[in-house]
């Protein structure tokens, strides 16, 4: 189970690295190919087509000079072949609540959904890198 959690959190970290470094190629590699995908950016409508989602990231990342985004408090929930990571995003001095969903596809954890929403209260607590035991496994 620890290996699965580590792999899911690595995929989640890769998403934020690609976002921060404006690496659309890495985002494209991380996004699921066989599974349906969806994305809801703050203030946007629901995107449900892989190309539509990738185009939205191209648009967002092409307008950003520097993307100082941090993922904090990443908490994984494993559902067999699907994993959900709930976390906080720190972006431009604001905190957003985020949900990132991954599916185990062709031996890799690939993103199938991302949603970020502004929070009414900013959170300035430090990230907790330890995953509490027992492992969160729901099913």
User: Would you state the pLDDT for residue 1?
Assistant: 82
Whether the model pTM is above 0.95: no
Type and span of the H or E element at 108: strand 108-118
Listed as ranges, residues in the chain with pLDDT below 50 are 126-139
User: Would you state the pLDDT for residue 87?
Assistant: 98
User: Would you state the pLDDT for residue 123?
Assistant: 59
User: Would you state the pLDDT for residue 58?
Assistant: 94
User: Would you state the pLDDT for residue 66?
Assistant: 66
User: Would you state the pLDDT for residue 110?
Assistant: 98
Exposure of 57 by Cβ count < 10 A (0-12 exposed, 13-18 middle, 19+ buried)?
buried
Domains and CATH numbers, the chain: 2-118 (3.10.450.50)
- Nearest Cα to Cα of residue 57 among 120, 122, 118, 111: 111
User: Would you state the pLDDT for residue 64?
Assistant: 62
Check: CB of residue 79 under 8 Å from CB of residue 101: no
User: Would you state the pLDDT for residue 37?
Assistant: 98
Please state the length of the chain: 139
User: Would you state the pLDDT for residue 124?
Assistant: 57
Check: CB of residue 8 under 8 Å from CB of residue 79: no
């Amino acid at each position: 189970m620890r290996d699965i959690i580590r792999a899911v959190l690595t995929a989640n970290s890769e998403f934020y690295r690609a976002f921060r470094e404006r690496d659309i190629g890495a985002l494209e590699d991380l996004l699921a190919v066989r599974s349906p995908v969806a994305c809801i950016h703050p203030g946007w409508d629901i995107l449900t087509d892989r190309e539509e989602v990738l185009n939205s990231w191209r648009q967002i990342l092409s307008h950003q000079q520097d993307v100082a985004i941090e993922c904090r408090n990443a908490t994984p929930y494993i559902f067999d072949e699907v994993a959900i990571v709930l976390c906080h995003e720190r972006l431009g001095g604001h905190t957003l609540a985020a949900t990132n969903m991954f599916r185990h596809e062709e031996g890799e954890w690939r993103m199938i959904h991302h949603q970020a929403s502004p929070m009414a209260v900013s959170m300035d607590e430090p990230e907790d890198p330890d995953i509490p035991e027992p492992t969160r496994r729901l099913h």
